Structure 1
Amino acid sequence: MVLSAADIHNKKFSTKMRGYNIDEVNDFLNQIIKDYQILKEENDQLTAKLKQSSDALSYYDDLKGSLNQSILVAQEAADNVKQTADHQAQQTIAAAQNKADELLSAATQQANQVLAESSKKAAAVVVATNDYRDSIKTFRTKMIAMLQTQLEFANRSDWTELLEGSDYHQFQEINDAVKQLDSLRSNSVESESNQSLPKRKQRSEYAEPTVLIFPNGEVRPI
């Protein structure tokens, strides 16, 4: 049993002859009581503080456990979120890659079609240009041959005989002579065209009609 200050203060000692001085013993006991009381109070305070520290330590231990559990739960949730995000990111990347491949394929196909159509149009333009150039060359050749034929026809001696001769005094006779010259001219032009000119591919829509004017004022197309 732990002694208290009151136990020390109330302690009674028996007296004997030639024993200790009672006053000195009492003074010493009083000092012991004071010191003991101080030590007891300090011990009680330390005990209370120790209990508070123990309670706080227990609280922090419990809090530590809760925090550890929360950390584990948070870590698990973070791992799940990370896995979900990674999976969604992979799906998004795959979908974007597929979409990009589709767009690239469509653009490439469209570009190839445009190039093919452009090549066909360019080839058609080249062919049309060559045909047009050939038509112009043919028309030029025919025109030169026709002009040469007309020049030869205009330089025939029959014209001189018709214009300067004195054998034709009647209009009917002159008209018959003109028809004869016209027949000769037509045969000459047709023969020259068949021999010198290639077969006409297409008549130029811009060509002016060629006419022949006779001395009597008659105009006839060639």
Structure 2
Amino acid sequence: MCAFTVQNIFSLACRDRCMAKLRTLIPLPSHGKPPNSTAAVLVPLCRVEGVPSLLYTVRSATFRPDVIYSGQITFPGGKCEKDETAVQTALRETKEELGLPSEKINVWGQGPAIPSQTNEFMITPVIGALQELKPTDLMININEVAEAFTVPIAHLCDPKNQFYTQFSNGYILPVFIAEDYKIWGITAYITHAFLTCALSKNVYHNEWLKKKIDIKSE
């Protein structure tokens, strides 16, 4: 499908459209008093054997508990250090976790901050595009990341891979299934926000609203 070609998704027009829409999104409300602590994640748009994809990480079971959540699927990222911008945090954490230097990442911009699931942090998503990504490009920090994997954009847009779950606080958020991986929570919300802003409505639909799935660890 032409909508999922490198020429389309990595184009300047797609970048401009994505960031213009992302900046106007109404973020999820915090459940309680908005947290003072801040964090940032990188949404890594990459090419895997010429296929536009998103890069995800699985947090190490021994991952420090001060950011987001050991054992879960996330984007690379973490807590902002003093006087750091969200972009600086996202790039620093991506290098620390995956060994990807900032000069290989073309930062598109950032979206509005959203509260973490535990309401401990306000998380800013930073969109960044990489060139062709190969397994040898990654130097995984096993103290923080158990593994990294990519999912084609076309797979995420396929309705058969989309579900939703409802949390105890009332939030209804998407869930994306990619083989044995379940992408849920704030990571799924950011994925949904990116796809909504980067792609047209006839390419990415809210089909996940039609099928519920239970997440045991919610």
What TM-score comes out, normalization by structure 1 length? 0.19
Question: Could you say which structure has the greater relative contact order, defined with CA pairs below 8 angstroms and 6 or more residues apart?
Answer: 2
Higher helix fraction (1 or 2): 1
TM-score (norm 2): 0.19
Greater Rg, structure 1 or structure 2?
1
Structure showing the higher strand proportion among its residues: 2
